[in-house]
Structure 1
Amino acid sequence: MPRSLDHIALVVRDPVRTAQLFSKVFDDARIEHGADDGDGDHDTQVQLGGVCLVLVRGTPPATRNGDHIAFAMGKAEQLACAERLRAAGIECLMARGDSALYFEDYDNHVFELDVVEGG
């Protein structure tokens, strides 16, 4: 049986650019660049909210679908992230009575910032 989520891999055109977006939006994002794997690719990992996002260079999805990754946070942090997204030129959308904020990265991956009780 699985013990926990180890990582989520996302295929992106430019792993460094995507990692920089996360570091602009989230105060606690930690970026790690791995060594060359022999194919000229470097693993770029972003530690975010206890989750490791592995950014893999490649051809990302052509369009969005209903898939998304949701992070739980307090309302004040959600609003701060919304301001940082706008400052970075990334559109975001409030939904569900302003308890959820949605945005996408440069490669059609959708993220939700979900306000949790007591946050």
Structure 2
Amino acid sequence: MPQMLSHIALIVADPLRTAHLLTGVFEDARITRELDAEDSHPSMTVRLAGLDFELIRGAGPAARNGDHIAFQVSKAEQQACAERLTALALDFDMARRDTALYFSDYDNHVFELDVVEA
């Protein structure tokens, strides 16, 4: 039986650009493996929320659909991320009485910041 998630792989046109997006939006995101252009499977790794995101060069989803990755955050963390998204000139949508913030990367992968107050 699975014990936990190992990683999430996202197919993206430009792994470095997506890595910079993630590290620009999320304070705790860290690049843990740099892009190796000579690798036959060019990718890089970003550590975020205790999980590795493998960013693999390729053609990502053609369009957005209901698939998304949701992170549990406090209201303060959500607002800070909204400010960083605005500074990066990236669109986002608020939903569920502003308890959910949705944004997408450059390749149509959707992320949700879900406010859960204790």
TM range (shorter): over 0.9
The correspondence of residues 48-87 of structure 1 with structure 2, limited to 5 A, is 48-87=48-87
Deviation by residue 1:58-83 (Cα, 9 ceiling, x = unmatched): 01111011000000010001000001
Q: For the residues of structure 1 that align with 2:37 and 2:106, how far apart are their CA atoms?
A: 24
Displacement of 1:37 = 6.8
TM-score (norm 1): 0.92
TM-score (norm 2): 0.93
Tell me the residue number matched to 2:88: 88
- Secondary structure, counterpart of 1:61 in structure 2: coil
Runs of 5+ unmatched residues, structure 1: none
Tell me the residue number matched to 1:22: 22
Q: How many residues align?
A: 117
Aligned amino acid, residue 65 of structure 1:
N
Displacement of 1:42 = 3.4
Deviation by residue 1:79-102 (Cα, 9 ceiling, x = unmatched): 000010011111001100100000
Aligned amino acid, residue 95 of structure 2:
A
Runs of 5+ unmatched residues, structure 2: none
- Secondary structure, counterpart of 1:5 in structure 2: coil
- Residue 42 (structure 2) pairs with residue 42 (structure 1): yes
Aligned amino acid, residue 111 of structure 2:
F
Aligned-residue sequence identity (percent) comes to 58
* TM-align CA RMSD: 1.4
